[in-house]
């Protein structure tokens, strides 16, 4: 795999008159310059995907699976280079980036296999002269927009089910991390993807114009977005308002992590760190607020703060680094502002609470005690390495705080009581609940949110359904 810096449309590598710089967030050094394309190139890519669709859809699932498998094998063979690239443009530690590359590749393998099982149904008839069946068919041209926090996996979680099911796709990657998307295109080309099946349109200044083209094009039959709730709402409305296309939205979260007094505290500390500090707190499923039962609040806070103070901060390619930089200057400012507000309102920093001296975009891993429900660190997604601790006195209170948010993506809790485990899992309003474990994402589970965290699921059998139409067929006049 080489470092690709041109866009990829209709099987061709495409430059552009204007280019924009992709920076390493740890050092602000330039890695490459990528074409700043616009709506015209997006339309061109959509037309190419439209031309490629009939032949790709006509292949058997087994033939498509062979290409998916080859794509997966190439990704795994190049996993170290992919990890280095993800780390360089996105900032996460190389070991974590390698985890993302394997996670990203796993969707190619899983959906290639799973698309062979896109079964319809036979429905017992209501009338002697009729027979009823359903069949599953690809939708057509799909368009996708993805965020920078998982430069690879957020793409493959959409592209793999789309392509395996017989659709074609046009992707607009994030402006901060387009290089991993282009590496993926190179590996897809080598795996034998026909021209037009997977297209990557890079941009910096024309994001909204490309989004508009995706949402309003009558040739695009399905739109899938991962990113902020604010942008997702607008694009979802534009899709439905213009062409009533199918829409999937993977949006923001505000995950609660509840530590009950009966929990194994060491396990809870490890789980909290795994969930909260992954990618320096910049994932949609990061624990955003830690609810701790009164009886163990002091003991848990102390253990957590001691462990967090030992996390190694630095550039993603330094050995042993656990916390990398935040993605850009705006992200650092937002975290600084939210922490300052919490401290002014009575929170106490048990560790961290300020920027880190590793560089301009580094924030020290932080634990805040005495946080209240009113503070912004409880109400909004922090997207940084800051763990706010909120005290609660009863299970009812914990569930009420956990559900008191418009979001409902992930939630976590720690308990040794099996009755409570069922009870709380059922009462929490979120698409995913993880008990006694801070990490849960993989290719076989249905990933997605309730409430304003989104529409639809990615991964698992549910993730394939998002890229299939169900057609009902009536065989009448049967004698
Ligand atoms: P964002 O601002 O919404 O950006 C995400 C993507 O949308 C980028 O590709 C961005 O392009 C594009 N975009 C922004 N404005 C647009 C517009 N008006 N029209 C068309 N496209 C537009 O989100 P972010 O802050 O980068 O990403 C973090 C958010 O994503 C968090 O809220 C996080 O929780 C969420 N997220 C959710 C999931 C999930 O599965 N639920 C997973 C990961 C992240 P540019 O880069 O060109 O601006």
Instruction: List, for residues 410-434, the tens digit of each pLDDT value.
Output: 999 999 999 999 999 999 999 999 9
Is 250 marked active-site?
Answer: yes
Taking a C-beta distance cutoff of 8 angstroms, is the pair 19, 139 a contact? no
Mean per-residue pLDDT for 101-105? 98
Give the pLDDT of residue 301. Answer: 98
Dihedrals phi, psi of 302, to nearest 5 degrees: -65, -50
- pLDDT of 9 higher than 90: yes
From 100, 203, 206, 227, the mutation candidate for ligand 1 (largest count of ligand atoms within 8 A of CB) is: 227
From 20, 103, 231, the mutation candidate for ligand 1 (largest count of ligand atoms within 8 A of CB) is: 231
Whose alpha carbon is nearest atom 27 of ligand 1?
227
Name the active-site residue from 100, 250, 293, 395: 250
Tell me what percent of the residues of the chain surpass a pLDDT of 90.
Answer: 99
The band of 479, judged by pLDDT with boundaries at 50, 70 and 90, is: confident
Residues 121-179: tens digit of each pLDDT: 999 999 999 999 999 999 999 999 999 999 999 999 999 999 999 999 999 999 999 99
Long-range contacts formed by 75-83: CB under 8 A, 24+ apart: 75/101, 75/104, 75/105, 75/108, 75/184, 75/187, 76/102, 76/105, 78/1, 78/183, 78/187, 79/105, 81/1, 81/183, 82/1, 82/152, 82/180, 82/183
Mean per-residue pLDDT for 345-363? 98
Structure tokens at 397: 């209170």
- pLDDT of 353 higher than 90: yes
Dihedrals phi, psi of 61, to nearest 5 degrees: -60, -35
Mean per-residue pLDDT for 24-35? 98
Mean per-residue pLDDT for 202-224? 98
Name the active-site residue from 142, 239, 284, 286: 284
Average pLDDT, the chain: 98
Annotate 30-94 with DSSP letters as a single string. EEEEEE---HHHHHHHHHHHHHHHHHHHHS-HHHHHHHHHHHHHHHHHTHHHHHHHHHHHH---H
C-alpha–C-alpha distance, residues 326 and 324, integer Å: 7
Residues β-bridged to residue 198: 169
Closest CA to 46 of 163, 211, 213, 179: 213
Which protein residues touch ligand 1 with a CB less than 6 Å away?
Answer: 145-149, 154, 174-176, 203, 207-208, 211, 226-228, 231, 235, 250-253, 284, 381, 409, 449, 454
Residue 142 Cα to ligand 1 midpoint, Å, equals 18
Rg (CA), the chain: 23
The band of 297, judged by pLDDT with boundaries at 50, 70 and 90, is: very high
Structure tokens at 206: 């024309």
C-alpha–C-alpha distance, residues 439 and 435, integer Å: 10
- pLDDT of 56 higher than 90: yes
Mean per-residue pLDDT for 63-72? 98
Mean per-residue pLDDT for 287-306? 98
Mean per-residue pLDDT for 337-351? 98
Mean per-residue pLDDT for 235-264? 98
Q: What is the pTM of this model?
A: 0.98
Is 239 marked active-site?
Answer: no
Cα angle 228, 149, 199 (rounded to 5 degrees) comes to 85
The answer for residues whose C-beta is within 8 angstroms of residue 344's C-beta and 6 or more apart is none
Give the atom of ligand 1 at the shortest distance from the alpha carbon of 147.
Answer: 5
C-alpha–C-alpha distance, residues 438 and 288, integer Å: 12
Mean per-residue pLDDT for 198-212? 98
- pLDDT of 281 higher than 90: yes
Taking a C-beta distance cutoff of 8 angstroms, is the pair 268, 414 a contact? yes
Write the burial class of residue 397 (CB in 10 Å: 0-12 exposed, 13-18 middle, 19+ buried): middle
The answer for residues whose C-beta is within 8 angstroms of residue 104's C-beta and 6 or more apart is 75, 82, 150, 152, 153, 155, 156, 157
Structure tokens at 225: 């977005």
Give the atom of ligand 1 at the shortest distance from the alpha carbon of 449.
Answer: 41
Give the pLDDT of residue 1. Answer: 81
- pLDDT of 258 higher than 90: yes
């Amino acid at each position: 795999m080489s470092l690709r810096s041109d866009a990829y449309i209709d099987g061709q590598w495409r430059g552009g008159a204007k280019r924009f710089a992709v920076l390493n967030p740890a050092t602000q050094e330039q890695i490459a310059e990528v074409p700043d394309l616009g709506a015209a190139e997006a339309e061109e890519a959509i037309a190419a995907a439209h031309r490629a669709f009939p032949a790709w859809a006509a292949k058997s699932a087994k033939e498509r699976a062979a290409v998916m498998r080859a794509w997966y094998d190439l990704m795994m063979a190049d996993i170290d280079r992919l990890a280095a690239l993800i780390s360089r443009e996105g900032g996460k530690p190389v070991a974590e980036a390698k985890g993302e590359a394997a996670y990203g590749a796993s969707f190619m393998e899983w959906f290639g296999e799973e698309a062979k099982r896109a079964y319809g149904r036979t429905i017992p008839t209501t009338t002697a002269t009729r027979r009823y069946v359903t069949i599953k068919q690809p939708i057509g041209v799909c368009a996708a927009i993805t965020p920078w926090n998982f430069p690879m996996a957020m793409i493959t979680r959409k592209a793999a089910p789309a392509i395996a099911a017989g659709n074609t796709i046009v992707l607009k990657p994030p402006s901060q991390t387009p290089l991993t998307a282009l590496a993926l295109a190179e590996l897809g080309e080598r795996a034998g993807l026909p021209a037009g099946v997977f297209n990557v349109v890079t941009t910096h200044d024309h994001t909204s114009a490309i989004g508009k083209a995706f949402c309003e094009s009558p040739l695009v039959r399905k739109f899938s977005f991962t990113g902020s709730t604010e942008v997702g709402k607008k694009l979802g409305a534009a899709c439905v308002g213009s062409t009533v296309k199918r829409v999937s939205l993977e949006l923001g979260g505000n995950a609660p992590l509840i530590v009950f007094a009966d929990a194994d505290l060491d396990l809870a500390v490890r789980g909290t760190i795994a969930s909260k500090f992954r990618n320096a707190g910049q994932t949609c499923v990061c624990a955003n607020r830690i609810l701790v039962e009164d009886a163990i609040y002091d003991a848990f806070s102390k253990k957590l703060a001691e462990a967090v103070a030992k996390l190694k901060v630095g550039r993603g390619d330094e050995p042993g680094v656990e916390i990398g930089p935040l993605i850009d200057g705006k992200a650092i400012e937002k975290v600084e502002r939210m922490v300052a507000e919490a401290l002014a309102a009575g929170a106490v920093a048990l560790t961290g609470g300020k920027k880190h001296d590793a560089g301009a975009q580094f924030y020290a891993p932080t634990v805040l005690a005495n946080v209240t429900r009113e503070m912004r660190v409880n109400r909004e997604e922090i997207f940084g390495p800051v763990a706010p601790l909120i005290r609660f006195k009863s299970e009812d209170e914990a569930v009420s705080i956990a559900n008191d948010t418009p979001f409902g993506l992930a939630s976590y809790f720690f308990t040794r009581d099996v009755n409570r485990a069922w009870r709380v899992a059922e009462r929490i309003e979120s698409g995913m609940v993880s008990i006694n474990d801070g990490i849960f994402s993989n290719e076989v589970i249905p990933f997605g949110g309730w409430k304003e965290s989104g529409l639809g699921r990615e991964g698992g059998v549910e993730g394939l359904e998002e890229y299939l139409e169900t057609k009902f067929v009536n065989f009448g006049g049967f004698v």
